[in-house]
């Protein structure tokens, strides 16, 4: 596994399901908590964050997540967060990311949507120049805040329309927040040319995924963890090759699944589903995209070629233009070829 770990560490990667605030590194969270000391429960000591980021269930995760969101109070905070996210992605050889940004929570903190867009676009240019990371945005509705959050999110998406914006999403708790509540908002976003990428089937069953597909016209499914419970849904996803944004460690940490051994990823692949590997809220779950590929390689018994195929799934499922997709695919293929030439190929099987 040592050789395969080294291969994964250097592998050019694409990240499709990762949250903006949820990507705040312990370094960034500590700096923000110290900046706002006395007005937050988030510890400024990086060593204490591991305990703080230990979740009893999905509801507890949302509570902690919102406490970190509350640390972003100014455009300076926002710039620090976004820059650190870009730097951490670059360190993992991530070349392209579709980052999920939640305008409403920043709006509640007093950051106007035009200021949010100005900051993230500024960092997008810096990330490309300094790190070679292409950053794109998905504006997502935090479902727990209901219709007011959808109003602000759609207004930000269509009114501000930053150059890097590609998609329109829906996150937060699924229980008690039906996908259909937000159908009209997705209709308007899709009509304006944005891609539909809601969360579905993470903490609820297959019906939520069906609703995302039929009501929100989802082009990718965020998580889709419980899709295997409905054979007709599995057949539908396989036939149409609708991508699933799978995040194994996230699912274990939020108790959506009990353990890696019980994760449905192997059954998804066996059923012919198009899966991509993602990190969701990596520092909060003590993971990285690199580690998620290691987890996937172990669960699927993959060799280097199989891991590279998974990486190319993410390229294919992205909303990047054809030129960018071709460039990313070629870089992955060249990396695989060069490592195969220079060292023995790790044992395992291919996902192709």
Average pLDDT over the chain reads 93
User: What spatial distance separates the first Cα and last Cα of the chain, rounded to whole Å?
Assistant: 20
Asked if residue 199 has pLDDT above 50, the reply is yes
**Which pLDDT belongs to residue 324?**
98
Q: Which residue did the predictor score with more confidence, 14 or 346? A: 14
pLDDT band at 2 (very low <50, low <70, confident <90, very high): low
Q: Which residues are catalytic?
A: 202
The pLDDT score that the predictor gives to residue 340 is: 81
Q: What was the pLDDT predicted at 351?
A: 57
Each residue's pLDDT tens digit, 295-320: 999 999 999 999 999 999 999 999 99
Mean pLDDT in residue range 183-191: 98
Q: What is the model's pTM? A: 0.91
- Rounded CA gap, 64 and 69, in Å? 9
Alpha helices in 174-283 (DSSP H): 183-191, 206-214, 231-240, 248-253, 265-270
Q: What are 11-60's pLDDT values in tens digits?
A: 999 999 999 998 888 888 888 888 888 888 888 888 888 788 888 887 88
Q: What percent of the chain has pLDDT over 70?
A: 96
Tens of pLDDT, residue by residue over 146-159, are 999 999 999 999 99
Domain limits, the chain: 2-342
Q: What is d(CA 154, CA 160) in angstroms, rounded to the nearest whole number?
A: 10
Mode of pairing for the β-strands spanning 94-101 and 134-142? parallel
Nearest to 274 by CA among 312, 218, 322, 330: 312
pLDDT band at 346 (very low <50, low <70, confident <90, very high): very low
Note the pLDDT of residue 288: 96
Beta-sheet pairing, 13-19 with 94-101: parallel
Stronger pLDDT, 346 or 23, i.e. the higher one: 23
What pLDDT is attached to residue 345?
42
Residue scoring higher pLDDT (276 or 42): 276
Helices 75-91, 26-35: axis angle to 10 degrees equals 160
Tell me what pLDDT residue 344 has.
46
- Whether the Cβ atoms of residue 11 and residue 293 lie closer than 8 Å to each other: yes
**Exposure class string for 103-120: b at 16+ Cβ within 10 A, else e:** bbbbbbbebebebbbbbb
CATH 3.20.20.140 is the classification of domain 2-342:
yes
């Amino acid at each position: 596994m040592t050789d395969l770990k080294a291969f994964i560490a250097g592998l050019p990667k694409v990240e499709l399901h990762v949250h903006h605030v949820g990507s705040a590194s312990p370094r960034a969270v500590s700096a923000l908590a110290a900046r706002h000391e006395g007005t937050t429960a988030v510890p400024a000591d990086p060593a204490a964050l591991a305990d703080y980021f230990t979740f009893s269930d999905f509801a507890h995760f949302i509570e902690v997540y919102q406490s970190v969101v509350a640390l972003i109070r100014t455009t300076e905070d926002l710039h620090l967060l976004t820059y650190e996210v870009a730097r951490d992605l670059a360190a993992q050889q991530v070349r392209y990311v579709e980052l999920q940004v939640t305008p409403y929570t920043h709006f509640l903190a007093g950051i106007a949507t035009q200021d949010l867009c100005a900051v993230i676009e500024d960092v997008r240019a810096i990330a490309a120049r300094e790190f070679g990371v292409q950053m794109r945005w998905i504006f997502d509705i935090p479902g727990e805040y209901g219709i007011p959050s959808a109003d602000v999110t759609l207004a930000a998406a269509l009114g501000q329309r930053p150059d890097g914006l590609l998609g329109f999403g829906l996150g937060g708790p699924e229980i008690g927040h039906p996908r259909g509540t937000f159908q009209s908002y997705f209709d308007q976003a899709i009509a304006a040319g944005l891609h539909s990428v809601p969360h579905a089937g993470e903490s609820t069953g297959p019906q939520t995924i069906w609703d995302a597909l039929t009501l929100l016209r989802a082009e990718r499914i965020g998580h889709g963890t419980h899709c295997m419970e409905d054979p007709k849904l599995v057949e539908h996803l396989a036939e149409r090759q609708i991508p699933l944004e799978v995040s194994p460690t996230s699912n274990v940490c939020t108790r959506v699944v009990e353990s890696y051994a019980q994760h449905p990823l192997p059954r998804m692949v066996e059923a012919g589903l198009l899966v991509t590997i993602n990190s969701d809220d990596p520092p909060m779950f003590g993971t990285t995209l690199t580690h998620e590929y290691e987890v996937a390689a172990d669960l699927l018994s993959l060799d280097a070629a199989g891991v590279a195929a998974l990486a190319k799934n993410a390229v294919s499922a992205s909303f990047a233009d054809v030129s960018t997709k071709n460039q990313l695919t070629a870089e992955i293929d060249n990396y695989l070829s060069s490592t195969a030439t220079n060292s023995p190929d790790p044992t395992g099987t291919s996902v192709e």
